[in-house]
Chain A
Amino acid sequence: MTSTPSLDSLLRDHYSMIQAVCRRILLNDSDADDATQNAMIAIVRGYESFDGRSAFSTWVYRIATNAALDELRRRRRRPLSLFSNDGQQVDIADTHSDDRQLAFEASDYLAQGLAQIPEEFRVALVLRDVADLDYEEISQVLNIPIGTVRSRIARGRGRLADILGNSDAPHERQNPDIGNT
């Protein structure tokens, strides 16, 4: 049997967060479910060779992030048949069509906000605020310097706060009240 009790337990502990990371990166439930399942397969397959040089959770989120990014690339290669509300077809050669598709498909206002953030900022933001990885762990997962991690998270947070702030309470942005959120 490939799945040992300890692996089973680890998978249970991490499943929800793997799925959350994939959903917040991909912003499409169906694609996120595919990425989550691919990540689960990769974790099961690679578990015996996991060498413990990083925390298990870091290793898991690296795999989940790669699975989500793989899914994003795969989605870009799929032919798009996207129509706006007025029936106009979105130009598939438009370099922003992927972002438009994300925004179009995003099911809730948070997802719509995240869809407007560049992918590199969104991934770093999700790993920090959803997966709760620290800078060092995100640096390992994304294979980028810690300074870049800080910068991407800050920019992602700034963009998202502006987007959500503009849509929620445009006149109160300078005096945010955490208790009301």
Chain B
Amino acid sequence: MSDDPTKNTDDNFDIDEFSSRLVDRDIELNDIPHDLRDAVQARSAQFVATRQQLLTSLTHVDSSAIDDAIRRATNDVEVQSTSQPRARKIGVYFASLAAAAAAVAIVGVAVTQSGSSDQSVSDMAFSAKISPEVAAAPESTGAPADMTADSFAPMAAESTLSGAKASLIINDTNELQDLVSEWSVEGFVVPQKTEPLCDDPLRPAIDVEATFAGEPAEIHFSIADGIVVYRTDNCDMMGGIVP
């Protein structure tokens, strides 16, 4: 272990945490134990210097570049809004996930054994990830060609899963994380099941016909408590991402 009291190691993480909070005025110097104050002040000075470097390194953006970015953004949205009903965007999203599942099937990955670990599922799905071209293929929607399922997360800001019950095919925990990101966006309304199959007091069941790693599944989700996937046959937990 180093003698340097400002060095960032787990052993003196308290100093970094105190220093960081002091820089942010989340605490006062008086809140810090006397014996740590010198080290904390020295470390805080380093943090302030680093912050200054980060801020002064920002490049100036000229107004023509901003004009162009705004014009392209508004034009893109206008093109999409005139070429497709909103519901079809979600349709493409689910279609792309379905295509991803098909790709998994094509490469012969058997992920339905109950012994499959998340890691193995993840690894297998990685090799079978849907290509951008496939993602854009289901319907000529005008969506940008490079939009994968991930890219639809921002769309959630204006979308719901209303209407006919959607089907959702998930291959791995990365895609679960994508769902969490998408469903956590403010304004996104996730329909809930009125009669869930599996009991989860923290997370309501989401009203979609879900398949996880090839098995019928029930998804439970809340922004505060994360997402958990249960096998519908026996309500065993198949995967999840929780805080």
Q: Which residues of A pack against B, CB within 8 Å?
A: 1-3, 8, 11-12, 15-16, 19-20, 23-24, 36-46, 48-51, 53-54, 59, 62-63, 66-67, 69-70, 73-74, 77, 108, 110, 126, 128-130, 134-135, 143-145, 150-151, 153-155, 157-162, 164-165, 173-178, 181
CA distance A128 to B26 in the complex (A): 13
Q: Do A74 and B148 contact each other (CB < 8 Å), given the known contacts A49-B187, A154-B19, A164-B50?
A: yes
The 0/1 profile, CB within 8 Å of A marked 1, for residues 79-115 of chain B is 0110000000000000000000000000000000000
B179 within 8 A of A: no
CA distance A3 to B74 in the complex (A): 6
- Set A16, A38, A126, A155: member contacting B151, Cβ < 8 A: A38
Give the interface SS of chain A, mostly helix, strand, loop or mixed: helix
Residue numbers in A under 8 Å from B36 (CB-CB): none
Q: Which residue of B lies closest to A69 (CB)?
A: B181
Listed A/B pairs (11) with beta-carbon separation below 8 Å: A20-B59, A40-B72, A46-B157, A63-B185, A77-B148, A129-B51, A143-B223, A151-B17, A155-B8, A157-B20, A161-B43
- Set A40, A45, A150: member contacting B20, Cβ < 8 A: A150
CA distance A15 to B47 in the complex (A): 26
Across the A-B interface, how many residue pairs have beta carbons closer than 8 Å?
183
- Set A12, A46, A173: member contacting B46, Cβ < 8 A: A173
Q: Which residue of A lies closest to B16 (CB)?
A: A158
The answer to whether B16 touches A157, judged by C-beta atoms less than 8 angstroms apart, is yes
B202 within 8 A of A: no
Q: Which residue of A lies closest to B147 (CB)?
A: A38
The answer to whether B76 touches A41, judged by C-beta atoms less than 8 angstroms apart, is yes
The answer to whether B150 touches A110, judged by C-beta atoms less than 8 angstroms apart, is no
Q: Do A129 and B54 contact each other (CB < 8 Å), given the known contacts A45-B155, A45-B158?
A: yes
The answer to whether B187 touches A41, judged by C-beta atoms less than 8 angstroms apart, is no
Residue numbers in B under 8 Å from A155 (CB-CB): 8, 13, 16
The answer to whether B55 touches A129, judged by C-beta atoms less than 8 angstroms apart, is yes
B140 within 8 A of A: no
Residues 43-62 (chain B) with a chain A CB within 8 angstroms: 43, 45-55, 57-61
Chain A nearest CB: distance from B14 CB in Å? 9
B145 within 8 A of A: no
Residue numbers in A under 8 Å from B151 (CB-CB): 38, 70, 74
B171 within 8 A of A: no
The answer to whether B24 touches A135, judged by C-beta atoms less than 8 angstroms apart, is yes
Q: Which residue of B lies closest to A48 (CB)?
A: B158
Q: Do A175 and B42 contact each other (CB < 8 Å), given the known contacts A3-B74, A63-B157?
A: yes
B153 within 8 A of A: yes
The answer to whether B174 touches A178, judged by C-beta atoms less than 8 angstroms apart, is no
Given contacts A3-B74, A157-B19, 9 further A-B contacts (CB under 8 A): A43-B73, A49-B187, A66-B154, A66-B185, A70-B153, A150-B17, A158-B13, A162-B7, A164-B50
Chain B nearest CB: distance from A19 CB in Å? 6
Q: Which residue of B lies closest to A160 (CB)?
A: B50
Residue numbers in A under 8 Å from B55 (CB-CB): 129-130
